[in-house]
Amino acid sequence: MVQNLERPHAPARPAGAAVAAARSWWRRPWILPLFVLSVSYIVYTARPYLDESTAPLMPHEGFSAYYPLLMTHIAFATVALLTSVFQVWGWLRRRFPAVHRWGGRVYVLTTVVAGVLGLVIVPFAPPVGKLGVAVATMLWLAFTVIGYVKIRQRRYAEHRKFMLYAFAMVMNNFWGSSLVLIGTKLELSIDPNYYLEAARWIGWVINLMLVQWWLNRTAGRPVL
Flag whether 15 is in a domain: no
Which residue would you say has higher pLDDT here, 111 or 22? 111
CA dist 87 → 16, 64, 80, 183, 214 (Å): 20, 36, 10, 32, 16
Parent domain of 86: 29-50+63-217
pLDDT in tens, 128-138: 888 999 999 99
pLDDT tens string 72-93: 999 999 999 999 999 988 888 8
Asked whether residue 224 is assigned to any structural domain, the reply reads no
- pLDDT tier at 219, thresholds 50, 70, 90: confident
For residue 38, what pLDDT is reported? 84
Is the residue at 14 inside a domain?
Answer: no
User: Which whole number is the average pLDDT over 37-59?
Assistant: 81
Mean pLDDT, rounded, for 117-134: 89
Residue 143 counted as domain residue = yes
* 98 in any annotated domain: yes
Number of domains in the chain: 1
Mean per-residue pLDDT over the chain, rounded: 82
- Residue with the larger pLDDT of the pair 2 and 174: 174
Given a cut of 50, whether residue 9 has pLDDT beyond it is no
Kindly report, residue by residue over 162-205, the tens digit of the pLDDT: 999 999 999 887 777 777 677 667 766 777 777 778 888 888 99
Q: State the pLDDT at residue 43.
A: 82
Q: What is the pLDDT of residues 92-118, one digit of tens each?
A: 888 999 999 999 999 999 999 999 999
* CA–CA gap between residue 151 and residue 148 (Å, rounded): 5
Q: Is 174 exposed, middle or buried (0-12, 13-18, 19+ CB in 10 A)?
A: middle
In a domain, 36, yes or no: yes
> 47-56, 143-152, 165-174: which has the minimum mean pLDDT?
47-56
pLDDT reported for residue 190: 72
Burial (CB < 10 A; 0-12, 13-18, 19+), residue 42, is middle
150, part of any domain: yes
Q: Measure CA 201 to chain center.
A: 16
**Domain-located, residue 210:** yes
